[in-house]
Amino acid sequence: MISAHGLSVRLGERDVLDGVSFEVRQGEWVGVIGPNGAGKSTLLKALMGLVAHRGEILLGSRPSRELKPRQRARLLAYAPQTPALPPDMTVFDYALLGRTPYIPYLGRESRHDREVTGSVLERLDLTALAGRRVGELSGGERQRVVLARALAQEAPALLLDEPTTALDLGHQQQVLELVDRLRRTDGLTVVTTLHDLTVAGLYADSLLLLTGGRAAAAGEPARVLTEELVGRHFDAHVKIEPGPDGRPVVHLVRGGP
Amino acid sequence: MVTQAGPSRARPLWVVCALVVLAVSMIAALLGGAADISPWQVVLQVVDWLPLVHVDSGLAPVEQGLLYELRLPRVLVAAVVGGLLAMAGAGYQGVFRNPLADPYLLGAAAGAGLAATAAIVLLPSVAGSIPVAAFLGAVGGVFLAYTLGNTAGRAGGTATLVLAGVAVTSFLTAIQTFVQQFKVEELQRIYSWILGDVGGGWDQFWLVLPYAAVSAVLLLLHGRMLDVLSVGDEEATSLGVPAARVRLMVLLAASLATAAAVAVSGLIGFVGIVVPHVVRRIAGGSYRIVLPLSLIGGAAFLVLADLVARTVIAPAELPIGVVTMFVGAPFFVAVLRMTRRAST
Ligand SMILES: Nc1ncnc2c1ncn2[C@@H]1O[C@H](COP(=O)(O)OP(=O)(O)O)[C@@H](O)[C@H]1O
Ligand SMILES: [Mg+2]
């Protein structure tokens, strides 16, 4: 569904991404992990065509650079790490923005666009909030509203940048379970950056470990989340054990480096 | 089956309410202090003016002439100028994602001020030179700020554009002050132009109308696009919207509206900030409703401001710009207090 070869991004004087290659299959969930400043957010932006980049990105079988932004927006839906939420906009109107790639430039949304938006809100349990102003929502509700906008886009792939930051444990689980459910029912392809390694290992089918703009490791969670790799690239002292379902669980060890 | 109508369905109702307010304001302004005419007669007279309709308002020909030649064009110019300024303000606020942006942000006022001053000083005998000069000056000021902003910063970025506007404004204002010193005897004329005037009659109205129509249509069409821009450039791009192009189009339309308004009426302050904010407080933040309501609300606001300007110290007149600021500021504070919300 998504593949990148030799993806490089230069911002200012720095190579923020340097020759990253990876592959995301249809229906797969790929977690991008790495220390702060590794280039995780930049990777998602490059996929979305929001920063200038070198290297090739294929969406399906088509080179991304041949697509118009509108066409790309029908294939990829993107939710940034810190979305700008216009405080006076209603939840419904905000989610409706997801329909933008289907509405003519100076036209107005169709009945179908409203119906899609309405049913997405219903799926995310947001119908009761439809008339509320976005600025009046709690952190968990906001995250769901942003997700609703991305889903209203009806793109086959979702790029979510840290979808669970600022959420408590229960809301983290709620959002991730939701994404997982959508992936199973709709066959969505998902790429998320996640800073919590255990959570990343728990939900993703495969992980991509970035450090300093390069891909340091990629593959199944158990192969990427090893004490050796995590210790080296995060500069942390950790103990990693298989959890109840065999997925790796990362513990911090006191008295680390 | 989900039939989610969405909260935005309440929009036509708001527009109707605003139109009623505007109509009442215009009737009140037509009455404007003349004690022996009843509001009903004015309504009948307005109906009589409509093409193909004839009713007898019971007004004497002199009274009819007064209404038609003096009051009516004045009310219409105030309405058009107020609508343009408020809508341009809303447009600028959307483009810059800044609630404090106003129609004069990008140097339109300073450009128009300089050009009008130059026209008064250098071409005192050329009739009709002031509006043309003011229009060109406003467009020139915006063009200068835009070019400067784009060469100094990232193309299409907003922060450097605002800074460029500030730089252009102080530079042009300095020149304007310098120029006006050459003809100190014209200071009164210069200041009375700067403080605004909508009493120029039918000529003034026909002059501003085409620009008003073009810019209003362009801006109203971009309401949904401004909503998309309000999530930021990156997200707008991720939704397939060419953010820089939308911004340029809205800037062009809003600047055209500002230049047209300034050309016929001088620098009337506060409308472009107050009206969109009041609208936002009352009807919500979507530009699809803020733009049309600002157009109508701005019209009503300036019609009433002009009514105040020519009645409080009658037979003398206050400059309308003084009234908009004097009445506008407390009115603004009152609305902010009345609609105070828990989250803001
Ligand atoms: N516009 C920019 N100009 C220069 N450097 C940038 C810019 N944006 C991000 N960076 C740098 O790129 C690196 C990667 O950023 P980012 O992708 O946000 O990291 P992550 O999401 O992994 O924490 C950081 O070191 C950051 O300072
Ligand atoms: Mg990041």
Q: Nearest Cβ partner of A97 from B227, B237, B242?
A: B227
Cα–ligand 1 centroid distance for A53 (angstroms): 14
A131 vs B contacts (CB less than 8 Å): 7
Q: How far is A191 from chain B (nearest CA, A)?
A: 15
| Token couple for A39 | 């280039």
Which positions 9-68 of A are in contact with B (Cβ < 8 Å)?
Answer: 45, 48-50, 68
Residue among B239, B246, B248 with most chain A CBs within 10 A, to mutate: B239
A142 vs B contacts (CB less than 8 Å): none
pLDDT at B306: 92
Contact A133 B285 (CB under 8 A): yes
What's the average model confidence in pLDDT over A18-34?
94
Tell whether B56 is covered by a domain.
Answer: no
Nearest CA-CA partner of A180 in A25, A24, A29: A29
Nearest CA-CA partner of A19 in A206, A216, A159, A213: A213
CA angle at A38 for the pair A37 and A40, rounded to the nearest 5°: 100
Ligand 1: which of A7, A9, A14, A33 to mutate, judged by most atoms within 8 Å of the beta carbon?
A: A14
pLDDT at A146: 93
B244 vs A contacts (CB less than 8 Å): none
Q: Look at B228 and A245; give whichever has higher pLDDT.
A: B228
Tell whether B94 is covered by a domain.
Answer: yes
Q: Helices (DSSP H) in B266-286: which residue ranges?
A: 271-283
Q: Quick check: B339 and B281 in contact, CB under 8 A?
A: yes
CA B229 to CA B219: how far, in whole Å? 14
**DSSP assignment, residue B343?**
T
CA A130 to CA A126: how far, in whole Å? 6
A45 pLDDT band, cuts 50/70/90, is: very high
A88-143 pLDDT, tens digit per residue, is 888 999 999 999 999 998 888 999 999 999 999 998 889 999 999 898 898 888 98
pLDDT at B2: 40
A48-72 pLDDT, tens digit per residue, is 999 999 999 999 889 998 999 999 9
Domain that holds residue B272: 2-21+77-343
**Total count of domains within chain A:** 1
* DSSP state letters, B195-261: T-----HHHHHHHHHHHHHHHHHHHHHTHHHHHHHTT-HHHHHHTT--HHHHHHHHHHHHHHHHHHH
Tell whether B105 is covered by a domain.
Answer: yes
CA A208 to CA A2: how far, in whole Å? 14
Strand, coil or helix: A211: strand
Q: Look at A230 and B66; give whichever has higher pLDDT.
A: A230
Q: Quick check: A146 and A83 in contact, CB under 8 A?
A: yes
Answer yes or no: is the C-beta of A11 below 6 A from any ligand 1 atom. yes
Residue among B235, B248, B286 with most chain A CBs within 10 A, to mutate: B235
Task: Output the tens digit of pLDDT for each of chain B's 344 residues.
Answer: 344 444 455 678 889 999 999 999 998 888 876 556 777 888 888 888 887 778 887 777 878 888 888 889 999 999 999 999 999 999 999 988 887 788 888 888 899 989 989 988 888 777 778 888 988 999 999 999 888 888 876 655 677 888 888 999 999 999 999 988 888 888 888 888 888 888 888 988 998 999 999 999 999 999 999 999 999 889 999 999 998 899 889 989 999 999 899 988 888 988 998 899 889 888 888 899 999 999 999 999 999 999 998 888 877 888 888 898 887 788 778 777 776 654 44
Q: Which residue matches tokens 């349990």? A: A125
| Token couple for B60 | 């004497």
With CA atoms as reference, the chain A residue closest to B283 would be: A88
Contact A84 B342 (CB under 8 A): no
B206-228 pLDDT, tens digit per residue, is 989 999 999 999 999 999 999 99
pLDDT at B3: 40
Q: Quick check: A160 and A81 in contact, CB under 8 A?
A: no
Residue A51 Cα: closest atom of ligand 1: 1
Q: Look at A174 and B296; give whichever has higher pLDDT.
A: B296
Q: Nearest Cβ partner of B4 from A45, A92, A108?
A: A92
Tell whether A256 is covered by a domain.
Answer: no
Mutual angle of helices B129-152 and B243-265, in 10-degree steps: 150
Tell whether A131 is covered by a domain.
Answer: yes
Per-residue b or e along B124-155, where b marks 16 or more CB atoms closer than 10 Å to that residue's CB: eeeeebbbebbbbbbbbbbbbbbebbbeeeee
Q: Is A157 on the interface with B (CB under 8 A)?
A: no
pLDDT at B344: 43
Q: Quick check: B120 and B87 in contact, CB under 8 A?
A: no
pLDDT at A228: 92
pLDDT at B78: 95
- Half-sphere exposure (Cβ direction) of A244: Cα atoms closer than 13 Å: 0
Q: Nearest Cβ partner of A69 from B221, B242, B344?
A: B242
**Total count of domains within chain B:** 1
pLDDT over 80 (residue A221)? yes
pLDDT at A87: 85
Q: How far is A208 from chain B (nearest CA, A)?
A: 23
Domain that holds residue A89: 82-154
Strand partners, B284: none
Q: Is A102 on the interface with B (CB under 8 A)?
A: no
Cα–ligand 2 centroid distance for A132 (angstroms): 29
Q: Is A133 on the interface with B (CB under 8 A)?
A: yes
Tell whether B326 is covered by a domain.
Answer: yes
Nearest CA-CA partner of B322 in B335, B312, B337, B336: B312
Give the CATH number of the domain where residue B99 resides. 1.10.3470.10
CA B149 to CA B143: how far, in whole Å? 10
pLDDT over 60 (residue A196)? yes
Tell whether B68 is covered by a domain.
Answer: no
Measured CA to CA in angstroms, residue A81 lies from A106, A168, A170, A194, B58 at distances of 29, 16, 19, 10, 69
Tell whether B283 is covered by a domain.
Answer: yes
Q: How far is A100 from chain B (nearest CA, A)?
A: 6
Answer yes or no: is the C-beta of A38 below 6 A from any ligand 1 atom. yes
Q: Nearest Cβ partner of B2 from A84, A87, A118?
A: A118
Of all ligands present, the nearest one to the C-alpha of A233 is: 1
Which positions 177-206 of A are in contact with B (Cβ < 8 Å)?
Answer: none
Q: Nearest Cβ partner of A100 from B239, B284, B344?
A: B239
